[in-house]
Chains A and B, each alone.
Chain A
Amino acid sequence: MSLGAKLKIGPAMIVAATAAVGVAGMLLAGAAQADKLIRYDANSKNFWLHPPGDWYMGGETEELKGTDFAKTLPPPTGFTRAEVEARLKNIKLPPGFKIEIYASGVRSAREMALGDKGTLFAGSFTGGIVSAVVDEGGKKVVKTILKGLRMPTGLAFRDGALYVADIDKIYKYANAEDNLDHMPAPTVVYDDMPPYTTHGWKYLAFDKNGWLYVAFGPPCNICLPPTSTAQVRHINPANGLAELVAIGIRNSVGGDVDPRTDQYWFSENGRDWLGSDIPSDKLNHIARMGEDFGFPYCHGGDIPDPDLAMGHKCSEFTPPVFKLGAHMAPLGMKFYTGDQFPADYKDSIIIAEHGSWNRHQYQGGRLVRITVDPDGKNAKQEVFASGWIGPNNKYLGRPSDVLVAKDGSLLVADDYNSAIYRISYSK
């Protein structure tokens, strides 16, 4: 009843929302909104600049009513090391592999980057900080090195400098590892970026020449996105130049450059509120400049958007290399370039699946491995590490990024447990 006034829903373009008030309805007796679906018109600058706190609920359906992003967030201070230790007992790996805590108390850890001198940096999703993990006499010490940022999820390291993406700027901190206790004032190396916080958190990946690949998410679940978003750019932080390399991309916070070809591959989160099992999240590959991956017209490579397809067919767009499944939430990913794991791991892709919120029975919450030819053919998937979704549909952790360490072990960030794990292999 109250929707019309605020939303001004047009006849064609709607974002239908669903279901009622998930969390609030359950917590607050008498809220009495339980039978209404939340709808927003996300096709406006006002929505993008002043998003409602529950913007991600816009599009609710009866089927998925009751699911809420907020329910999948960890407590404010995460979990203790002992709790995280206990949770790791649930993790399953292939024979010969083991997982252990590399560091705990790495708050809300997202993308990781490794310094030349062995410092492990981690961005964060909540709290506005960047952490560094250093080895002091065999003990891993966690430092908060940057504070007061907004959503510094994306990091990269090159030539002694730490690069941090925070919504609308990419910062460079020169000589970072020598100044962990007093980080220098940053230089802004790129700021031709939209202001939207919604899907505005980033992931950074350097190519061999020192250019960054950066995805810009649309400020909505589903909308006709502003022209500055739903795309991947190739940015030269040395001079601030950028080129647009791909469009039609929803929220992508994971990607890596293929060591075989220097081409960019990335994970992409499909839209919400279409169904429990649709659309599939994607692994994509940019084989040539200017490819269009279909958002907002086509989802998962095969599902025209019910409202926004507007006559477009999925066949017009670049298909995914691999369909990862619905609501897996693939985030950080890396090609395995180390020598420690068995030989067939070389150049395969390991993806951190954060796990669902918009699905009653969560799935994902694991690492998967994709082996695929450099041209995108013959993609095959196997589950590499699983068990972060426990019995009773409870999260026991949520992998958010992976990184190949110098010794060939795999580091895994978990922003739910505020921890970094190390997965190693021995025969």
Chain B
Amino acid sequence: MTPVRPLLFAFGLVALLLCCGGASAADVAAGKATAEGCAGCHGADGISQMPLVPSLAGEPDYFIQWQLVFFRGGSRKNEVMGPIAEALSDEEIRNLGAYYASLPPPKPQPAPTSDALAQAGAELAAKHRCQVCHGNDYSGSGPTARLAGQREDVLLKALRDFKSGARVGSGVSSMADVVYGLSDDDMRALAHYMATRP
């Protein structure tokens, strides 16, 4: 089994609500206005219908903010998101974080009643203690992502990118150590399991 991994990860990444008072009050309505430009890919109400594009609805505020900061600084590389994030001010990023966090999360992907892949994913999630950082219901917290109900293709790509080193966050991501020992089948099972969680 894997030792407990407290939130947050390697330098950097993590700033927790409870630790850092004093951030500016964000403006959800302004965030909603800015997010109109995001809906084309991420979906109305932040629920994506597009392959490999994540749903953002219900993601934790700081998770949204960190990813935008990483895209903006180029430490998370994506041809589409890089230029978009580059144009965002700190204030716009705060407002977007608050807006997406305020939306109801996506409904889980339907699963067959007998779902061997999900069962395998459940066992892997327990073994690797995903709940310690991502929450008992995988709804995310602080800098960590909501996984429950996310698109399966998005989750699988994220796991593969962490494993290949394509996605590092800043410095090292705690996910690098988590995925180090996972096979591609393991990652498929985990992605399927999380996508079907309510």
A residues bordering B, Cβ < 8 Å?
1-3, 5-7, 20-31, 33, 36, 38-40, 50-55, 57, 68-80, 83, 105, 107, 124-129, 144, 147-151, 197-198, 201, 394-395
Contacts and interface: CB of A to CB of B under 8 A. Distances in A.
B70 to A, nearest CB: 7
Contact of A75 (B4, B15, B136): B15
Nearest to A69: B11
B16 A52 contact: no
A25 B131 CA distance: 11
Contacts of A50: 176-177, 180
Interface stretch (B43-51, B148-156, B164-172, B186-194): B164-172
A5 B66 contact: no
A146 B65 CA distance: 20
Contact of B93 (A7, A54, A77, A126): A77
B10 interface: yes
23 contacts: A6-B3, A21-B6, A27-B141, A28-B131, A31-B132, A38-B6, A50-B176, A51-B177, A52-B174, A53-B175, A54-B9, A55-B10, A68-B8, A70-B15, A71-B16, A73-B14, A73-B16, A75-B15, A77-B69, A107-B73, A127-B69, A128-B74, A129-B73
A70 B3 contact: no
A83 B178 CA distance: 37
Given A22-B6, A24-B7, 6 more contacts: A23-B8, A30-B136, A50-B176, A53-B174, A55-B10, A75-B15
A36 B172 CA distance: 25
Contacts of B132: 21, 24, 28, 31, 33
B19 A72 contact: yes
Contact of B15 (A39, A74, A128, A151): A74
Contacts of B135: 28
Interface string B53-85: 000000000100110111011110100000000
A191 to B, nearest CB: 18
Interface of B: 1-16, 18-24, 62, 65-66, 68-70, 72-75, 77, 90-91, 93-94, 97, 131-133, 135-136, 141-143, 168, 170-178, 180
Contacts of B23: 75, 77, 79
A26 B4 CA distance: 13
A22 B16 CA distance: 12
Given A23-B16, A79-B24, A80-B24, A53 B8 contact: yes
A349 to B, nearest CB: 26
A76 B69 contact: yes
Contacts of A73: 8, 12-16, 19-20
A75 B65 contact: yes
Chain B binding surface, main DSSP class: loop
Contacts of A201: 171
A207 to B, nearest CB: 28
Given A6-B1, A197-B171, A77 B90 contact: yes
A24 B6 contact: yes
Contacts of A128: 70, 73-75, 170
Contacts of B177: 50-53
Q: Which of A20, A40, A80 has the most CB of B within 10 A?
A: A80
Nearest to B68: A76
Contacts, number: 198
B180 to A, nearest CB: 5
B171 A126 contact: yes
A24 B4 contact: yes
Contact of A57 (B6, B142, B172): B6
Contacts of A57: 6
B2 A126 contact: no
Nearest to A105: B90
Contacts of A68: 6, 8
B73 A125 contact: no
Given A33-B4, A75-B65, A148-B74, A24 B133 contact: yes
Contact of A7 (B3, B10, B133, B141): B3
A395 B69 CA distance: 22
Contacts of B174: 52-54
B141 to A, nearest CB: 5
Nearest to A150: B171
B11 A125 contact: yes
A127 B75 contact: yes
Contacts of A197: 10, 171-172
A2 B1 contact: yes
B175 to A, nearest CB: 7
Contacts of B18: 23, 26-27, 71
B16 A27 contact: yes
Nearest to A58: B3
Contacts of B77: 148
Contacts of B142: 23, 27
A151 to B, nearest CB: 5
A20 B16 contact: no
A19 to B, nearest CB: 10
B11 A150 contact: no
Contacts of B72: 127, 144, 147
Contact of A79 (B10, B22, B97): B22
A56 B128 CA distance: 19
Contacts of A53: 5, 8-10, 172-178
Nearest to B133: A24
Q: Which of A33, A50, A70, A197 has the most CB of B within 10 A?
A: A70
Nearest to A144: B73
A402 B141 CA distance: 35
A107 B88 CA distance: 14
B97 to A, nearest CB: 8
A149 B16 CA distance: 24
